[in-house]
């Protein structure tokens, strides 16, 4: 598996939008994204600074992206 870089929540959201996810709702600082075809769902915490790598790995797992695919889309 490729090394994941430090990324912000905005960068993750940009990748999610590129692969077809749409923002469905927001509650506080968290945004919920769903994919209309795959029916996958994930939450992204829109906090300042970089996301923890463990959280990034979990988001990628939830949306079905590999680290390599994510890096290409960044």
DSSP sequence for 18-32:
HTTEEEEEEETTEEE
pLDDT in tens, 9-45: 999 999 999 999 999 999 999 999 999 999 999 999 9
Residues 37, 58: Cα–Cα separation, whole Å: 20
Domains located in the chain, CATH noted:
9-73 (3.30.920.30)
Whole-angstrom distance between the N-terminal and C-terminal Cα of the chain? 16
Residues 15, 13: Cα–Cα separation, whole Å: 5
Close Cβ partners of 30 (under 8 Å, ≥ 6 residues apart): 43, 44, 45, 46
**What's residue 9's pLDDT?**
95
pTM summary value: 0.90
């Amino acid at each position: 598996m490729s090394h994941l870089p430090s990324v912000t929540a905005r960068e993750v959201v940009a990748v999610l939008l590129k692969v077809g996810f749409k923002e469905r709702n927001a509650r506080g600082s968290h945004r919920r994204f769903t994919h209309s075809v795959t029916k996958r769902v994930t939450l992204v915490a829109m906090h300042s600074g970089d996301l923890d790598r463990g959280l990034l790995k979990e988001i990628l797992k939830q949306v079905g992206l590999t680290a390599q695919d994510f890096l290409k889309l960044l």
